Amino acid sequence: QIRLVESGGGSVQPGGSLRLSCEVTGNIAWGYCMAWFRQPTGQEREGVAAIHTSGHQTHYSDSVKGRFAISRDTAKNTIYLQMNSLKPEDTALYYCAADRDLCNGRWFQAKNFPDWGQGTQVTVSS
């Protein structure tokens, strides 16, 4: 059993940047697919980015590729999502999720992740 706590959300103008953090309590060394999902109000949860704790696999949705970067710090047991060139359509509640498996071709599906954080709100508006 692991616990995930997100932080770093906030309000930013279009074109701005934010860095989200997901602090993990529990042992995830070398064995978990860690992902960021987001859920705009009234819409379904969608996969944004994923990284295996080994650091050997990263995945991005087409909507954020080239703007967002996922990374991990194994010493701090923390997953990050650096978000640059933010757009109003990036506004959503962002969640960290974990699955004790490789990040396979279904990483973007929320149903594949049993462990979730409580979410952190990101609002992009002028």
Rounded to the nearest angstrom, the gap between the alpha carbon of residue 120 and the centroid of all alpha carbons in its chain is 10
- pLDDT-above-70 percentage for the chain: 98
pLDDT in tens, 100-121: 988 988 899 999 999 999 999 9
Once rounded to an integer, what is the mean pLDDT over residues 13-40? 92
pLDDT, residue 27, reads 78
pLDDT in tens, 71-107: 999 889 999 999 999 999 999 999 999 999 889 888 9
Q: Share the mean pLDDT of the chain.
A: 94
| Burial of residue 40, with CB atoms counted within 10 A of its CB: 0-12 exposed, 13-18 middle, 19 or more buried | middle
pLDDT, residue 31, reads 87
Asked whether 93 and 121 are in contact (CB, 8 A), the reply is yes
